Structure 1
Amino acid sequence: MNVSLIVAMDKNRVIGKENDIPWRIPKDWEYVKNTTKGHPIILGRKNLESIGRALPERRNIILTRDKDFSFNGCEIVHSIENAFELCKNEEEIFIFGGEQIYNMFLPYVEKMYITKIHHEFEGDIFFPEVNFDEWNEVSVEKGIMDEKNPYNYYFHVYERKLN
């Protein structure tokens, strides 16, 4: 099982504000959909509630401390170990946020798919600081800026360096 994460963030590592995403970039959502389709995603309860529904064409695994939590179309776990156990036969899983989930899983992540938005947004939810000396950038692609995607953004893929 390969553990990957996927995230979009601004120049200051902002990933959210008041439990929402402070930008709209449909091409990034398309990238996320195509990258994670057919693979489990692991996300926190708050992130799920901000999305409002289970994402189709992939397993939605929700990590929460709330033992009574349930959500249609989702599998609920209460620990990292439970999440990994559910996914032990999967080829690749995606850590899908938010901030606490990224922090918890980052030590296990082998590959990061990061959309970097070249803009500064106000926010209160941040991606963790990453020492990029421990990662190899294996690809970068410029996103198309237009009236529907009004910011400069780049799709980066990083793989953890082997020790």
Structure 2
Amino acid sequence: MIIMIAAVATNNALGKNNELVWHLPNDFKRFKELTSYHHIIMGRKTFESFPKPLPNRTHIVITRQKNYNPEGCIVVDSLEKAIALCPENEDSYIIGGGEIYNLGMTYTDIIEITRVHHEFDADTFFPVINDEDWLLVESEPNFKDDKHLYDYTYETYIRR
């Protein structure tokens, strides 16, 4: 199954200047739990936003740049090629960025969203989740605390 996973603000903001504009430790923990030991698909800029490859995951990086070959990663030039490299009977995750999320909506079976209940100034946005195409099947609210500046909700959508 192809699963799209993202942390998304109320105004669909993803980030600015290739960085997240919030810090939610529980969301990082959830991301790690869901994606570990799976294939993760991302654009080059998303990959380059990490200090190093994420442990216990197979990284597939999409780029148009020739001779781009970061150590420990599979590099392809299209989302279709990335998906073709994922095991058919296992979950694989599309993890960003904005352009890859837009392209990935067609191929995605499930969307895992952490909805950050705040609007942010951003330059990258998540595509609109159309209620005609997607059904919200799970919603788990979480509230701000000493480690989380914003309320947030884990949302799971399945394709109708």
Q: TM > 0.5 between the two? A: yes
Deviations 1:11-31 (Å, cap 9, x if unpaired)?
Answer: 100001011000011110001
Instruction: Give the RMSD, CA atoms, in angstroms.
Output: 1.2
Instruction: Tell me how far 1:155 sits from its aligned partner.
Output: 0.2
Deviation at 1:133, TM superposition (A): 2.5
Contact 1:39 1:90 in 2 (8 A): no
Residue 15 of structure 1 aligns to a residue whose secondary structure is strand
Cα deviation, residue 43, structure 1: 0.3
- Alignment partner of 1:12 is 2:27: no
Shift of 1:108: 0.8
In structure 1, C-alpha distance between the alignment counterparts of 2:88 and 2:10, rounded to whole Å: 36
In structure 1, the residue matched to 2:135 is 136
| Cα shift at 1:142 | 1.4
Q: 1:82-97 alignment to 2 at 5 Å?
A: 82-97=81-96
Shift, 1:150, TM fit: 1.4
1:26 equivalent to 2:25? Answer yes
Could you list the runs of 5+ residues in structure 2 that have no partner in the other structure?
Answer: none
Work out the CA distance in 1 between the residues paired with 2:150 and 2:101. 24
Answer whether contact 2:110 2:158 (CA < 8 A) is retained: yes
Shift in Å at residue 81 of structure 1? 2.5
- Across the two proteins, how many residue pairs are aligned to each other? 160
Pairwise mapping of residues 49-88 of structure 1 onto structure 2 (< 5 A)? 49-88=48-87
Q: Measure the CA separation in 1 of the matches of 2:133 and 2:155.
A: 15
TM-score normalised to structure 1 length = 0.93
Contact 1:27 1:143 in 2 (8 A): no
8 Å contact from structure 2 (residues 63, 75) kept in 1: yes
Normalization by structure 2: what TM-score? Answer: 0.95
Contact kept? 1:41, 1:61, Cα under 8 Å: yes
Letter in 1 for 2:132: D
